[in-house]
Amino acid sequence: MFTQKSKLKELYQTPVGKDLLDTLARYAQRPNLFQNPILANLKIKTIGRLIGKNAPGVTDAILHLINSANETPPPFPPAITKKWWKEAVVYQIYPRSFQDSDGDGIGDLNGIRRRIPYLKELGVDAVWLSPIYDSPNDDMGYDIRDYRKIMAEFGGMEDFDALIRELHANGIRLILDMVLNHTSDEHEWFQKALANPQCVERDYYIWAKGRDGDEPNNWTSFFSGPAWNRYEETDEWGLHLFSKKQMDLNWDNPGLRAEVYDMISWWREKGVDGFRLDVINLISKENLEDGNNAIGALVGFRGIEHYFYGPHLHEYLHELREKAFRDAYTVGETVGMGLEMCRMLSAEERGELCTAFNFDHMDNPGKSRANEYRYDLRFLKSHFIKWQEEYGNNCWPTLFFENHDNPRMVSKINPDPRLREVIAKLLCVLQFTLKGTPFLYQGQELGMVNASFSSVNEYRDVEAINRYHELLKGRTQEEALRITSWGTRDHARTPMQWDSSENAGFTTGEPWLKVNPNYAQINAEEETRTSGSVFQFFKNLIALRKESETLVYGSFRVSGRKEKDTFCYYRESENETFYIEINLTEHEQPRNHAAPPAFHFCMGNYGRAAESLRPYEANVYQSIRRR
């Protein structure tokens, strides 16, 4: 057991210790702090001063998490096993904003079916649909009311059956988004629990008595405010880590788990090929003790240390694999998990997840999408080298820059419209030449960018709306709008831009969320017929990846490890090598490594290579195939 007297280097040897210390260092904007050999000899009790949070309880919380997570790290096997989901290009669709087919201003399943030829042309192998189930849409479908019913605005079960049939007929697999940490408070289980506290469904949720008339503990919601609703009828409080209408499920209840396994098996029997698992690492709550204030201030959510890597997480994930997912593909949305913890959750021999989403690269150290800042691409070099070199052959990375929760990456890096296409293509080169499964978010292949919002009334994102009203306590409407406009999830949810007709061809009705007015310049119709467009670049690089096992299973070797402004690397297999060179800055950079001899220029975001590396230049070279 580790104690306050344990040295940092001893803790750093454990999977959880390494991730927690690296996470703290990143939040403190000192990402390599704990690799310092001098500091490594210090006792953990000094950690408070090091990270600027010399607060009581931080080191106790870290020691407790490390001591209770006493797993042995998975081995490092010599070979990679081949799987379809390691070779696939996955395309995330946010159904509400993809294509409307009935003119109600909301995307739907028949609209997706209509766009299958577009997905085929791009080279997509699988689609991930954000939740399509019956929901009151407090959190746009991530608040599920009936897991076995299609959301009315999206169509009916017959439309789902038609969609999966046509996707499969076109060689495209289907991944559904499964939200298992919580349900809508309008779900039948929760309604029964309110109506009859003695019913079996009562214990499917997490209830507690208040404290002196206040919440049972000091936990805060991811969506602002306390994480509890009070229910007068029984004088109890119900836990909601997200919106007030998303009630956390009690995974310690075997009856609840059995209901979930049955429901997942039902979808698998309908032919679903895989599942994206919403905040899946939060399902095991250790206890309901107060959260540490310093950790809450550092991470932004008080109480998170009691549930982000709970005591039964591995047990429940293994049971999910055995009794529900079986051989279906799974990718866990594992908020707060570092590389080592993702290895514990997804190494092949552990029989838990197939892959995991780690978010460490989505913001620069110490930043979040709640901050206004220019994303510095140079941070990606150390991040990707670590994940390409240390993840192990029995784990498989996921490669993404956008999703439905984050602003458009091009806008985060540099909003200069003259650089938009070059940056979009640079991100494409990283996503499709590094080792891992690429997850492309709708519109990223067009180089879509953030919108601008003139009022909170234009927001549809519950997280942004709640935060706006919280900020109003002490700030003007203009300030609250400006601050929430940096990270509102609405940026990713403006309707897909299909063509230059009204509403960008998304709907003939009134769109549920405003269309970005730049659709006249940025749209699929224009780009699919224009050589050199962002779409064509994605299509060509996806095609290159498909014809070359090297870009899928080849080894990774960095070139110029110490150079800050450029990221150059090889992908190698026995008879073929690719060399990639990237300028991570908006300034011209000297080429410190000529492309190796016997390599030919394959593709690049400036069309051809030049004497030096121009702003954000990214080039792919290929060796002549050795026979």
Question: Footprint of ligand ISL on this chain (CB under 6 A)?
Answer: 139, 142, 179, 222, 242, 278-279, 333, 335, 359, 362, 404-406
DSSP 188-235: HHHHHHHH-TTSGGGGGB-EEE-BTTB-SS--B-TTSSBSEEEEGGGT
Continuous segment of H or E residues that includes residue 263: helix 254-269
- The one-character DSSP state at 93 is E
Length in residues, the chain: 627
Determine how β-strand 329-333 pairs with β-strand 274-278: parallel
Backbone angles phi, psi at 164, to 5 degrees: -65, -35
Nearer to ligand ISL, 247 or 618 (CB): 247
The residue number whose beta carbon is nearest to ligand ISL equals 142
Nearer to ligand ISL, 392 or 407 (CB): 407
Nearer to ligand ISL, 217 or 406 (CB): 406
The distance of closest approach from Cβ of residue 534 to ligand ISL in the complex, given in angstroms and rounded to an integer, is 24
Nearer to ligand ISL, 19 or 405 (CB): 405
From the CB of residue 568, how many other CB atoms can be counted at a distance below 10 Å?
Answer: 22
Known catalytic residues?
Answer: 278, 333
The distance of closest approach from Cβ of residue 373 to ligand ISL in the complex, given in angstroms and rounded to an integer, is 16
Q: Distance between alpha carbon 352 and the CA centroid of its chain, in Å?
A: 18
Give the C-alpha separation, 13 to 5, whole Å: 15
SS3 content of the chain, % helix, strand, coil (to 5): 40, 15, 45
Continuous segment of H or E residues that includes residue 355: strand 355-357
Nearer to ligand ISL, 29 or 575 (CB): 29
Give the C-alpha separation, 622 to 609, whole Å: 13
Determine how β-strand 599-604 pairs with β-strand 618-623: antiparallel
Backbone angles phi, psi at 590, to 5 degrees: -65, 150
Give the C-alpha separation, 105 to 107, whole Å: 7
Give the C-alpha separation, 156 to 201, whole Å: 27
Query: Under DSSP, is residue 356 helix (H, G, I), strand (E, B) or coil?
Result: strand
- Helical residues (DSSP H) of 270-312, grouped into ranges: 293-299
The distance of closest approach from Cβ of residue 96 to ligand ISL in the complex, given in angstroms and rounded to an integer, is 12
Nearer to ligand ISL, 247 or 434 (CB): 247
